Chain A
């Protein structure tokens, strides 16, 4: 029946068939043109992608509900089976963590006091936006996530994205209510990192595998397996010190990192509202307050090679309470005078 219908159509309307073929050819051509165009102008395709994503984000959220519910049900059954063992393990881990928390608080306090003493420039407090990951397009080309948050929540392109245990990627396109995250594992991801114990810097380079590589390591670098990897903050793109993972595999000429966050298991993610640092071309120490004692030191260090002799000489010669110091800015001197 169906065959006869289509045969009749073929004989009765050859023109229509030709029209169909022509339309088909045109659309194939359009698709090829689209690929070439998106290769030439990345920003154009990014904008198109983001607008389409904004339109479909609510629909993906709806579709994602049953999928999420299924994943959760499986996780809950597993948790029920392992309840007793898990409880014991948690009690033990809680006891241990309590101890670590005390240590951390004490160290944080001590650290902030030492920073005050040294007048280290303060890193601004970070604001976070928590958002649901609604999409994880499992294509073989890209490693990205779709977040149900956008410009309306104040997030911006380039913001770091964190899971439970550390950095997982950064925002690459932002729409009104949705955005896309480039994961650390993606082929295009490059993040400056620091190997915490060896203090060796490198670039974390994604290659679509689960464990990104660290590139641009010094030839003589000696790195141990299991060392912590954190962001180095070089270039100002990311804040310094975000946990990334641990060194796992040492290959000839390269090492790989096991990320501390299991990306597949993240339902909610935190987006850090981070403004990349603008690097000041001429660093000027802030020499007001108690540190003005060190101003001559700074001056001497600037004028002469920093030897012990020149430094002590300068301190003895001009350092003194109330004397306007050569390196002070006029407004600082005025403030001091007012305070007296």
Chain B
């Protein structure tokens, strides 16, 4: 994939692809899919991508990009404007700080860490939502969303590993 490209282009590709993957996941989350019949929620797909790149390739995804991805997600997905920006930055900040612990460990440890990040993000989102709208939301949809996100992570991680390997060959 793109091995024949000039070096400058390759570098740009590396800087852009992780962002585009995250953006695509935001768009997928915005499309109507019946993922859950219990409550109509879709998993936080973009969070998986942000977590993954923050652990394994933090230099391919920068804080400004994470912020703008969050704002786009806010515009498309609804909820308080800026909420996803905060959540994505939080996940990015926490994960990049702890990435050295996770990088050399088996995948299960990363999965566990992702679970903790997701749970914290969900709790944070509930709290900000409650403050923003002035109502205590039913926690069930939040829990279902967190659970779906954590359960689907290994599936999406496979795709992300594949993309990372391809991109690493270009670097």
Pick from B34, B41, B56, B93: contact of A139, CB under 8 Å:
B41
> In the bound complex, what is the Cα–Cα distance between A39 and B81 (angstroms)?
8
Q: Are A142 and B78 in contact (CB under 8 A)?
A: yes
Q: Are B35 and A138 in contact (CB under 8 A)?
A: yes
Q: Are A141 and B79 in contact (CB under 8 A)?
A: yes
Q: Are A64 and B41 in contact (CB under 8 A)?
A: no
What 0/1 readout, one digit per residue, does chain B (62-99) give for beta carbons within 8 Å of chain A? 11101100111011111111110110011011000000
Which residue among B24, B27, B70, B126 has the maximum number of chain A CB atoms within 10 Å of its CB? B27
Distance of B86 from chain A, by nearest CB (Å): 4
What 0/1 readout, one digit per residue, does chain B (28-57) give for beta carbons within 8 Å of chain A? 111111111001111000000000000010
Interface residues in A57-110 (C-beta closer than 8 Å to B): 59-60, 63-64, 67-68, 71
Name A266's closest neighbour in chain B (CB-CB): B32
Chain B contact residues: helix, strand, loop or mixed: helix
Distance of A290 from chain B, by nearest CB (Å): 53
Which stretch of A24-32, A226-234, A273-281, A308-316 is in the interface? A24-32
Q: What total of chain A residues lie within 8 Å of the partner, measured CB to CB?
A: 48
What 0/1 readout, one digit per residue, does chain B (12-32) give for beta carbons within 8 Å of chain A? 000000000000100111111
Contacts of A138 in B (CB 8 A): 29, 33, 35-36, 40-42, 145
Name B89's closest neighbour in chain A (CB-CB): A28
What 0/1 readout, one digit per residue, does chain A (22-59) give for beta carbons within 8 Å of chain B? 01100110111111011100000100110011001001
What 0/1 readout, one digit per residue, does chain A (249-270) give for beta carbons within 8 Å of chain B? 0000000000000001000000
Q: Are B129 and A140 in contact (CB under 8 A)?
A: yes
Name B80's closest neighbour in chain A (CB-CB): A35
Give 10 A-B contacts (CB < 8 Å), ordered by A residue: A27-B89, A35-B81, A45-B81, A52-B72, A52-B76, A63-B30, A137-B42, A138-B29, A139-B41, A141-B137
Give B residues with C-beta under 8 Å from A.
Answer: 24, 27-36, 39-42, 56, 62-64, 66-67, 70-72, 74-83, 85-86, 89-90, 92-93, 100, 103-104, 125-126, 128-129, 132-133, 135, 137-138, 141-142, 145
